[in-house]
Structure formats: C-alpha cells, structure tokens
Amino acid sequence: MKQKKNERNVTENTKRRRNRGLLTPHEKYLLGVRRDKLKVRIWQISVLVAVIGLWELLTAVGAMDPFFMSSPSRIAVTFVELMADDFMYHIGVTLLECVIGFAVSMAVGCITAVALWLSPLAKRISEPYLVVLNALPKIALGPLLIIWVGSGAKAIVLMAVLICVIVTIISVLEGLCSAAPDKLLLLRSMGASRLQLLRYAVLPSAVPTFLSVLKINVGLSWVGTVMGEYLVSGAGLGYLIVYGGQVFKTDLVMTATVTLCALAALMYGAVALAEKLYMRSKKKRRTTDKVCAAEHSDKRV
C-alpha cells in the first residue's frame, strides 16, 4: 500500500511539473514511452473494432453470404445458445487437454535439455535426430498415436506434447549453451563442477530463453490439442469445429474458432503477466543489492 501511495504521489508530481513545463529530459522520455504504448493499444482496439464492424456490414448488405462466412451478430447469438447447453463442458475439455500437454512438454523438454547440456557427447549424438524430429509433420503420427494409446484424451495430449517438446528441447538447449564464456571460465578457474556451472551461470542466463519458449508453446499447445481433437475426440472445441463443418453449421464453426482465439489470448496473457512479475522482482532485487552494497562500502569507509 505504501509503495502504491508513493507511486501515486510521483505520478501527481510529474503531472504538475508537466503542466508547468518543468520536466527533465528523462521524464520527457518516459512520458513519450507511455504515450507510444497508449497509442499502440488504441490502434489495436480500433483495428479489431473496424474488422468486426466491416464484417458485420458486408454480411448485412449481402456482399458476403453469412451462410458461408457467418457474422459477428450470428456468432454472438450462437454463443449464447451454446452457453445454455453444454458449451462450457467442451471448453473445459479442450482447456484441460491443452494445459496438460503444455505442462508435460515444458517439463520433459527442459529436463531433457538440461541432461543434454550436462553430457556434451549425448548432445552431439542427438542433434541430427532432434532436427529430423522437429521437421517431421506430427499429423502423420496421428494414426499411430491412436494405435499406441487409444482413441481418447491420451492421444490428444500426446499430440500436443509431440508438437511442443522438440521445440522446447532445441530452444532451451540453445539458451543453456549461450551462457557467457567469461563467467564459465571464471567459475572453472575456481574449481566449479559442471553442476555448479549449471546452477550459478547457465540456468540464470537461460531464463529469458525459457520465458520465450513458454510464449511459443502457448500457441503450439493449442495447435496440437485442436489437431488431436480433429483426429479423435468426442468432445472439445476441435470436435465442435469438425462437427459443424460436416453439417455445414458455419456459425458453430466460427463460434468455436473465436472461443479458441480468446482462450489462447488469455493463456498467453497469463504467461506474459508471469514474465512481467518476474522481471519486476528481478529489477527490485538488483536495486536492493546495489543499495546494500553502497551501504556496506560506506560503513567500510
């Protein structure tokens, strides 16, 4: 509460100084950054509203056939009708499969990447296989997945894992290998073991890569989940899309698709928020460390 009050006071003081034309160059720069962010946000919302309005207008005047393209108003009506039925159940099924596939692929991929970093020989042996598996169209394995684990949620989750895990291994391994050579050399000169190098130098330097992989896997996990539901499912948003396409219910297909976009955006937003909180805490830690170091040096003097 005290920190928020201080930030509010700083903001009010900045506004008063801006009205009087007394801003420092640094304050002017920060003000420009805030204005640019606000401008981008306004443009993003405006583009979305314009697309939805144009889509509704073209279907209303008959320039586009709503039977084939649906319309925002028909999607809204279909959404309300589905919510009165069992739409939440289908959303829950797809969301659970996606979250499980996302979590399993991140865990398996990160553990495998760390194991490969710890064993340079295993890393060199596995590199060509990782490249081939990454290039392999995972949809080709669909019939085999059904044979291996059966037709159900296991096959869908496994499809999501297969799509995400190779990308996770390659990206995280690259992040682990990008640690600063000077830091590694310094730790080696002090007799650090490979595990100590991993703990004190490699893992901290790979955190930005890990956060980037989280964002990438948000999209890939949804792709894998829906792809799995296309192949074999009795429930879920992918199932509704397939069913709607088979019986020519375009409104159902578009409603399920828009819902998928909204869920993917929410999941991405959660990951982005976690990244923002981490970076804020990291910045706060650095500031605290600098203050403590300055106080310690003053005491020594």
For 219-268, the pLDDT digits (tens) are: 899 999 998 888 887 888 988 998 888 888 889 999 999 999 999 999 99
- How confident is the model at residue 37, as a pLDDT? 86
For 112-119, what is the mean pLDDT?
Answer: 92
For 264-274, what is the mean pLDDT?
Answer: 90
- How confident is the model at residue 199, as a pLDDT? 86
Stretch among 12-26, 154-168, 191-205, 234-248 having the lowest mean pLDDT: 12-26
The residue ranges of every structural domain in the chain are: 2-62, 70-291
For 50-74, what is the mean pLDDT?
Answer: 89
- How confident is the model at residue 20, as a pLDDT? 52
The pLDDT of residue 105 is above 90: yes
The CA distance from 196 to 50, in Å, is 55
Instruction: Work out the pLDDT band at 6, boundaries 50, 70, 90.
Output: very low
Residue 83: Cβ-neighbour burial (10 angstroms; 0-12, 13-18, 19+) = exposed
Helix (H, G, I), strand (E, B) or coil at 63: coil
Task: Answer yes or no: are the C-beta atoms of 102 and 271 closer than 8 Å.
Answer: no
Angle of helix 25-60 versus helix 72-83 axis, rounded to 10: 90
Residues across the chain: 301
Average pLDDT score, the chain: 84
The CA distance from 284 to 299, in Å, is 23
- How confident is the model at residue 21, as a pLDDT? 56
The pLDDT of residue 284 is above 80: no
> 127: Cβ–Cβ under 8 A, 6 or more apart, which residues?
none
Domain 70-291 has CATH 1.10.3720.10: yes
The pLDDT of residue 2 is above 50: no
- How confident is the model at residue 95, as a pLDDT? 92
- How confident is the model at residue 257, as a pLDDT? 92
Task: Answer yes or no: are the C-beta atoms of 229 and 238 closer than 8 Å.
Answer: yes
Stretch among 144-158, 217-231, 274-288 having the lowest mean pLDDT: 274-288
The pLDDT of residue 10 is above 50: no
The pLDDT of residue 286 is above 80: no
